[in-house]
Structure 1
């Protein structure tokens, strides 16, 4: 099932009790989750439980969240994040949410009767359950993965669900890492939805279309700047474009065409802190200011920080290459990079005095490492990694990045 079909189903209240939303596109996931919560909670305050899959996850707390009764709400959603790290113990908890561990004799006989003309399905059911004389019920056996998948298919056809009517599980993955087959085998095609990022060749037309909604045109350089600096998902693109429009609307002189200079001025001159003002503090080696800016923007734009830092750093590294390796003057290097703004030139000149090409190249490794951590860690640990990066960049550190290897520097 694709994202458009999922939206349609949720809008019609055809909601599954368990979902796996995988893939790197964050923006559409946020839209779907918002739609899901609106439908399930009908405008009331959502009751949600958030768990990150890692070595510290307390499985008893997860089981309590899934199975516990609610006092002040009719429904709840349990979010399981970083699902690519799931282990067999947690897969078993999910399995118990989907496959009944026991069936009453009456229900078992009823199911078998419904399959009297389908010997294969009846045989699968017989292979999966055995009668427990002590309790008078059918208990599930230790079954093979292939039989497990077939059994789930049978239960889906019967529209049989173990899950409580008011309980929903949403599993989230935001990387391209492989998800264990043991989990995928528990889900049908309506429960696993992959959210793909836009292909590179789709982005320019989409960005132009978004600006057209505001009756604005945008040139190619400005589009490429947005693609390079904004996190690659629709949610962050839409937010960035809306902010640029608000800034542009307040300009005295405008011709309904947004160019790269307009966007750079917005990023560098707006009162709102951004990854670019954070990078300016790094260039000035002002640790206190950099940490203060980080704390502000992390609360509102944690996913967009790395993209802005990486774009800024690639440009700065090119400038250092021109100055140190091609022996150009700082002024000539800045001219060659088409940097005209006096304020931006002054900030970059400070950076040229504070960093050399070797140090800046090693910072590129740290930024690549930071990009990995951004996708792999929960928010509180991401913040610590950002803080470490700032302190290490300004004060130095003998610790090597795990991406460092030999000193081979790439210019982008």
Structure 2
């Protein structure tokens, strides 16, 4: 235990809301550095998710002094899922009287949580990290590469934004990969972005959608397993990424049925890149509008199952989701609980 520990009143509870996880992480990093500076050593960190969580254990972690650090930071993720009356009461009572040597940081990608929790966090300790506007994200990408002495075309920026989650944390990770992928070139083109998304060795939600679009269950399952083993993708985020692409696919399919051309659909939806366009063209041959509409109903059902389960059960439900989409084309009416 450090002999340089310092005392001092620190805000004990923070509520950080909104989908802009890049700026949110910057705030957390600054707060962690400040706590480390004031306490004289790096704080211990604990991370919790609401599913099957004993909230008395969270409060115990916060209230019990550690033998190994002067300060503890407890992260409670997906706090919007905390809705049980007893759980809310336990948390809110702690928030009213937090200890001085621990910090509780409640996190959500949404903009609102249960009022019983929101009301007990002081206004000055709440932050909402709003999603950037489209022009702000475009400027962010251009400025990132400009600072590295790299030029990126406007078309490449637009294509990149099609394949990235709407936050600067994800943007930074993809831009870093793209800069490494660039090698000796100094200009990033639309083709280069497409090569990174579809031809790099790293699997992602877009390569998964590519295999689903082809109607290949075995390839889809293989990519899903690789993604889950890597631990790089949250199940709910994975489903959200697929939902966005299926929503666009359904619009394309309906336009084709209404006698519009594929080029008309691509222009309307701003689907760029030859490879990307081929994915949607192939998918229109594999799935009908009716099948896509049925698949749409599955997303909310499976999202509920993913949020209500964890670990191996989430993997099982993701595999069932692929089965229902790729092989059954959305004909499964009700999700049966797996008998494992």
- Please confirm whether the aligned pair reaches a TM-score higher than 0.5, indicating the same fold: yes
Per-residue displacement from partner, 1:18-73 (whole Å, max 9, x unpaired)?
A: 1111222222222333344445457977633333335x332332332223342333
Q: CA deviation at 1:387?
A: 3.1
1:259 aligned partner = 189
Q: CA deviation at 1:15?
A: 4.2
Whether the 8 Å CA contact 1:25–1:234 is kept in 2: the answer is yes
Stretches of structure 2 that go unaligned for 5 or more consecutive residues are 1-7, 336-340
Per-residue displacement from partner, 1:182-229 (whole Å, max 9, x unpaired)?
A: 333322233212222212342222222122123233333332323333
Per-residue displacement from partner, 1:359-405 (whole Å, max 9, x unpaired)?
A: 234334545776x6699678647655543331211121534599xxx
1:287 aligned partner = 217
- Residues of 1 paired with 2:88 and 2:289: CA distance? 48
Determine whether 1:388 maps to 2:323.
no
- Residues of 1 paired with 2:47 and 2:124: CA distance? 23
CA distance 1:78–1:356, shift in 2 (3 Å): same
CA distance 1:192–1:318, shift in 2 (3 Å): closer
> What secondary structure, in the 3-state scheme, does the structure 1 residue paired with 2:219 have?
helix
How many pairs does the alignment contain?
A: 318
Q: CA deviation at 1:88?
A: 4.2
- Residues of 2 paired with 1:170 and 1:335: CA distance? 43
- Residues of 2 paired with 1:233 and 1:389: CA distance? 26
2:50 aligned partner = 53
- Residues of 2 paired with 1:288 and 1:389: CA distance? 13
Whether the 8 Å CA contact 2:21–2:168 is kept in 1: the answer is yes
Determine whether 1:216 maps to 2:146.
no
With 265-274 and 162-171 compared, the bigger mean Cα shift is at: 162-171
1:81 aligned partner = 77
- Residues of 2 paired with 1:375 and 1:200: CA distance? 30
2:29 aligned partner = 34
Whether the 8 Å CA contact 1:231–1:304 is kept in 2: the answer is no
CA distance 1:176–1:400, shift in 2 (3 Å): farther
Q: CA deviation at 1:234?
A: 1.0
CA distance 1:233–1:15, shift in 2 (3 Å): farther
- Residues of 2 paired with 1:376 and 1:177: CA distance? 17
- Residues of 2 paired with 1:201 and 1:369: CA distance? 34
After TM superposition, list the pairs within 5 Å mapping 1:239-318 onto structure 2: 239-249=173-183, 254=185, 256-298=186-228, 299-302=231-234, 305-306=238-239, 308-310=241-243, 312-313=245-246, 316-317=249-250
Stretches of structure 1 that go unaligned for 5 or more consecutive residues are 1-12, 100-161, 403-412
Whether the 8 Å CA contact 1:287–1:390 is kept in 2: the answer is yes
Determine whether 1:72 maps to 2:58.
no
Whether the 8 Å CA contact 1:53–1:86 is kept in 2: the answer is no
- Residues of 2 paired with 1:377 and 1:263: CA distance? 36
Whether the 8 Å CA contact 2:190–2:273 is kept in 1: the answer is no
Whether the 8 Å CA contact 2:59–2:91 is kept in 1: the answer is no
Determine whether 1:205 maps to 2:201.
no
- Residues of 1 paired with 2:69 and 2:17: CA distance? 28
> What secondary structure, in the 3-state scheme, does the structure 1 residue paired with 2:66 have?
coil
* Cα RMSD for the two superposed structures: 4.0
1:154 aligned partner = none
